[in-house]
Amino acid sequence: MSTPGNDRTAGPSAYPDPVRVLVLVSGTGSNLQALIDAAKDPAYGVAIVAVGADRHDIEGLERARRHDITTFVCRVSDHPDRAAWDRELARQIGAHHPDLVVSAGFMKILGEQVLAGHTVVNTHPALLPAFPGAHAVADALAYGVRVSGCTAHLVDSGVDTGPILAQRAVPVEDGDTEATLHERIKTVERTMLVDVVGRLARHGHTVTDRKVTFS
């Protein structure tokens, strides 16, 4: 008899319903691509139901379109204020009924309407709580750290302050620029994110005093 996970030739019907994941992007979308590739395997347990962005004309949206994934754009500048943008983004996300939202290089702070309705995972290019914010790689280099890395965490109302799901260390090399260090981090980050999203999808999680357990 076919059972999920031990019969790689089994069709999708051998697996339980995949977890519906919506990915938010602002740029290149290489983390999104890693999730798209992982989700091709039914055993991974994830269906990417939509990709949202805060801007047009980015590679992340093109990657989604190439894989026939529905896309939408919700720009702050098209709304009277951040609260109205937050409401509209929450509405657009909700229309796809995701079980999980993944912020994969989405360069905006999510508002309370989005966070109230969804579990959101963010990936960040530093070892939090060091170097939160939009310039993490440059900040780590400027500080002179010899090791940096990446963090996957649940999003709360702060800036990169939510409970940590996973972290990976990456060495800083002599002569690194922001670009070279960020590329080295992203190579590790993609594997980390695929692993974390898969574990959340297949096992679920609980949070106790900031400590996350995959259950």
* Binding interface with ligand GAR (CB under 6 A): 25, 27-32, 60, 104-105, 107, 123-125, 134, 136, 186, 189
* DSSP-assigned letters across all residues of 107-128: -S---HHHHHH--EEEEESS-T
Burial 157-177 (b: 16+ CB within 10 A, else e): eeebebebbbebebebeeebe
Determine if residue 66 is labeled as part of a ligand binding site. no
Residue (10 or 59) nearer to ligand GAR, CB: 59
Smallest separation (angstroms) from ligand GAR to the CB of 185 = 6
| 69 assigned to a ligand binding site | no
**Residue 164: DSSP 8-state:** E
Report d(CA 135, CA 148) in Å as an integer.
Answer: 13
Is the Cβ of residue 15 or residue 64 nearer to ligand GAR in the bound state? 64
Is there a catalytic annotation at residue 203? no
| Cβ at position 102, least distance to ligand GAR in Å | 10
The answer to whether 93 is a known ligand-binding residue is: no
Q: Which residue is nearest to ligand GAR (CB)?
A: 105
Helix (H) / strand (E) containing 103: strand 100-103
d(CA 25, CA 52): 6
Return the active site residues.
124
Q: Which residue numbers belong to the known binding site?
A: 29-31, 82, 107-110, 122
Q: Which residue numbers belong to the known binding site for (6R)-10-formyltetrahydrofolate?
A: 82, 107-110, 122
